[in-house]
Amino acid sequence: MSPGGLHILIVDPLFRLPSAAGPSRSHDLALPLLRAGHRVTILAAALAAHRDDLMALAKSDPRLDIRVFDDALAPARFGSPAGPQRFDRGARFAAREVGAIVDLDVVLIAHPSSGLGHGAMAACRRRETPFILDERIGGPGAAGLWAVFRFRRRRRGAFAALAASPDIRGWLAARLGERLPIVISPAGADTEFFSKAMPRPAFFATHPRLTHGPLVVFAGSLSPNRPFGRLLAIVAAMRREAPEVSFVICGDGPIRLDLNLHAARLDLLERNLWFTPALPRQALPGLLAAATVVLAFGTEPETPLSEPGHHLYDGLAAGKPIAVLGGGWQRDLIEARQAGVVLPVGDGAAAARELTDFLRDGDLIRRAGEQAAALARGRINTQRILGDVRGLLERAAAEQPRAPVVRRKLLAHKRSLDIAVATVLLVGLSPLWLGLLIAGGLMSRRWPIEGIECIGLKGRPFRRWRFVATINDALGRFGLDIGPALINVLSGSMSLVGPDTHPSSYVQFYSAQQQRRLDLRPGLTAHGATRAADWDSRFADDLWYVEHVTTRLDMRLIGGAIWRTITGRRRQPDAGLAAYDEVMARSQGAEDV
């Protein structure tokens, strides 16, 4: 964890502010994360109309950064499929942005099936950053084996998944099995937001009839998966059953024009049914405050997409009774707490009679409203749900901390550099090494290479290869004594840069702190190579290097070793110091050392 808290990335291609229409879950989550002392970066693909608002939000807190996928705003070329192209560009944009954040601790990915979601998941797997999926919209119920395989493959490595409803949880479980913990995390009822006193929308001023009788309001997206045809049948029956009841459908979507045409054919427009465009979220409290009942759709078996239920939670947060059209978890929730009325499906006249009886019973409406408000303050309260999401993000970062991952990758890169350099030096200078080997053998009349038992990584002993003493001392001033030790580097028992190489007899005298120098391979050169000093200083240099090792530091130390060799200031590892085991033995009272 960073000293100032975690660095959390929220990837949401549908990120919205309260000034826009639609749910603003990611925005609502970012604010408590900032209050908790974390840094937040948001990756979004926003509408052009909201770009200035996003940039203004980013300037409101120095710990908040917002990066917008501008390519999502570009028009598609004539004759080319815009969807796949934008998906791929979004994936590349997300992968690039996620990869560029150095100190990232954990990622929350909303709508992971989007291009931004795919790119972010791939980048998180590559950099081994924990990520949590936030599935807010389900998909088709049935899927082939290949589709399930691709679904699992693209989401592999996730820490957990959040599902906006029980239906979406079931949809995820059918595809992921027991591979991933799935937590139900609904949109929630934001009682704090809906408790604010807001004026009624200007729409009511031009339609005064809406303020003189029971009012049923639906506020949500007009999507094809919702049974608006059944709703219009109920409205038509209500015109005969209870003409004093008015209906308002507030929202936008792909079927808005068809709904208007169908309502006109049924002679409902401006009679007991009014349409109004989607309102900014910050205007919803004023609209729902004027409602007698809030309408919500339930989940039907034939529905192609699972219903997240944002409009239902908004109605509960406003303390309004809910009229549920359909079944599923929405019906179970309202029936269990008696927070509204459940309308029969498939019979508009029966649903109209049921709704009329409910609206004419003022005491029943009052009790249902109280139950709705109590339900909104309980387990489905937005602040409680967002607190749980924050806790899950913090747990993911704690269980998969960034520091060990960064260090593991650093050491892997260090090992790759060792292999590359040792191979180049051994192969490229092989004629030189062969010549030295022959000359050394002739001079010493023996095999010119010997092995010394040393202590290595994690305390494992190894034999360090070097020229015999007379040859090694002569070659040391030119830096050619490292030749045999390059074999140790290539085999993995040593590194180009690391702590000093110590004989195995030293390790028994190490303190608990000094044992930490064994966390890295010993090196041909060390951080303390520029000074002999004393053993305490040598150990301090080694321990400092173990804690602060970086590729840049290694390159600087290698460059320094080369420069000292060229200028003739290179020293032997233990020059001027008594053997460490002898020093420690004397300090412990041995007389025969």
Output the CA–CA distances (angstroms, integers) from residue 50 to 87, 96, 373, 549, in the order listed. Answer: 21, 23, 32, 45
Tokens 């990066």 correspond to: 67
Mean pLDDT of 528-549: 80
Q: What share of the chain is helix, strand, coil (3-state, %, to 5)?
A: 50, 15, 35
Residues 376-433 have pLDDT tens digits of: 999 899 999 999 999 999 999 999 988 888 888 889 999 999 999 999 988 988 888 8
Q: Is 535 within 8 Å of 553 (Cβ atoms)?
A: no
3-state secondary structure of 151: helix
Tell whether the model's pLDDT for residue 327 goes beyond 80.
Answer: yes
Give the count of beta carbons closer than 10 Å to the beta carbon of residue 520.
Answer: 20
Residues 441-458 have pLDDT tens digits of: 888 778 888 888 999 999
Q: Is 457 within 8 Å of 520 (Cβ atoms)?
A: yes
Report which secondary-structure segment, H or E, holds 584.
helix 580-587
Q: What confidence score (pLDDT) does residue 184 get?
A: 93
Q: Which residue has the higher pLDDT, 217 or 49?
A: 217
Encode 443-501 in three state secondary structure: HHCCCCEEEEEEECHHHCEEEEEEECHHHHHHHHCCCHHHCCHHHHHHHCCCEEECCCC
Tell whether the model's pLDDT for residue 49 goes beyond 90.
Answer: no
Average the pLDDT over each of 115-119, 321-325, 468-472 and give the range with the smallest value: 468-472
Q: What confidence score (pLDDT) does residue 590 get?
A: 53
Provide the whole-model pTM. Answer: 0.78
Strands 449-455 and 502-503: antiparallel
Mean pLDDT of 185-204: 84
- Cα 124 to Cα 126: distance, rounded to the nearest angstrom: 5
Q: What burial letters (b/e) apply to 165-190, b meaning 16+ CB within 10 Å? A: bbbbbbbbeebbeeebebeebbbbbb
Q: How would you classify residue 346: left for phi > 0, otherwise alpha for psi between -120 and 50, otherwise beta? A: left
Average the pLDDT over each of 119-128, 512-521, 555-564 and give the range with the smallest value: 555-564
Mean pLDDT of 135-155: 78
DSSP annotation of 226? S
Mean pLDDT of the chain: 85
Q: What confidence score (pLDDT) does residue 424 get?
A: 92
